[in-house]
Structure 1
């Protein structure tokens, strides 16, 4: 079945191109067994806001939630999502791509988010709302980050943590001028524009 183009005006297509040209090809997230659809929708919205194009889905004991068609879920159509079932294959693929892999956590080895250079190729693992990052992922990617907090409560909602983490990545990358030059090659940008026009 042929897809219908939705670039109704030259301005709409130009906006899509402008957004795609600021997407970061080497910044991604792993969502690991995050079950709440509101959290998942909010995380995807933050990915769109801060230029993350690729999200990896690792779901072993929870199914990926049905996000429906709410406005907050609409960000999913602008994000590439790849499903994984084998943690070793997923992590090795990210390492082969040159990524530093950071998981959220509170162990003794966790370091403040601001200690890391997020201008490097980076993937951040976000864990389940109740138990955090799965043990098998922690063993494969032991580097942990935490967001320093000043109150009595020492943890944030996973979607809030995602937004703050991605904003810090945006802040560092913006200061380094990384949003000024496309990180995808021209052929890929053209293909993405045409794909987005069908969404």
Structure 2
């Protein structure tokens, strides 16, 4: 762990936006899902919600270029289940949908707890999802096509959310809990040891100021004594 790497990890965690997320309503194309996850990471979203398509989807790790390491993906069997969980946590559901009810995407206040709902590639947001959403938005178009690709549309909306949150000074200060910060910091700094601890139900050891184990030989000796092979 280099000092630069450790500083980057801490900076990313200090910019995480726990009250901003995306939920996809059966988006099934792998490259679109991966691109959405990558954008989530870029704007500081740490948790992405995905309603599993009834027809399934292909693996989508290629386009993300490692983003899946940094963004937790929560899968849901139905949009009703996913939306219900988000609403229980205080999220407002904003659906990207071409309709008479929709307002321009930049007219929405994204500094409030917001989950952006993106529909499937061909059909868009389902009727079931629209019945549960709190707001519908559109991205004004100037060409012959009616809409952007779903991953591009999501990125446009998220960049606006990021802009608003930057103006509100919601970045650059830790907004996740101390427990989540410490747990995530350890997993990212020491992934192999974190996996070892998770498999054996062990508490994570302490990190020093450089992201390495504090007193590693002492911890290894303790583990060997208490958990012999």
2:97–2:136 Cα contact (<8 Å) kept: yes
Q: Does 1:139 align with 2:131?
A: yes
Q: Deviations over 1:21-45 (max 9, x none)?
A: 1010000000121121111111111
Shift of 1:144: 0.9
Matched ranges for 1:15-94 at <5 A: 15-68=8-61, 70=62, 72-94=64-86
Which deviates more, 152-161 or 138-147? 138-147
Matched with 1:193 is: 185
Q: Is the aligned partner of 1:124 residue 2:101? A: no
Aligned to 1:196, the other structure's residue is in SS state helix
Contact 2:47 2:73 in 1 (8 A): yes
Cα RMSD over matched residues?
Answer: 1.6
Which runs of no fewer than 5 residues in structure 1 stay unpaired?
1-7
Matched, 1:109 2:76: no
- Shift >4 Å, 4+ stretches: none
Greater Rg, structure 1 or structure 2? 2
CA distance in structure 1 between the partners assigned to 2:183 and 2:49 by the alignment:
21
Structure 2 distance, partners of 1:48, 1:60, is 22
> Which residue does 1:5 correspond to in 2?
none
Residue-pair matches, total: 191
Deviation (angstroms), 1:11? 2.3
**Structure 1 residues 142, 26: closer, same or farther in 2, change over 3 A?**
closer
Contact 1:13 1:193 in 2 (8 A): no
CA contact (8 A) 2:25 2:126 kept: yes
Is 1:167 aligned to residue 167 of structure 2?
no
Q: Which moved more, 1:181-190 or 1:123-132?
A: 181-190
CA-to-partner distance for each residue in 1:103-136, whole Å, 9 max, x for gaps? 1111111111111100000000111111101221
Under a length normalisation based on structure 1, what TM-score does the superposition of the two structures give?
0.89
Whole-angstrom distance in 1 between the partners of 2:133 and 2:63: 34
Write the distance in 2 (CA, Å) between the matches of 1:152 and 1:67. Answer: 30
| C-alpha displacement of 1:142 | 5.1
Q: Which residue of 2 aligns with 1:3?
A: none
Unaligned runs of at least 5 residues, structure 2: 193-229
Classify the secondary structure of the residue corresponding to 1:140.
coil
SS of the residue 2:19 aligns to: strand
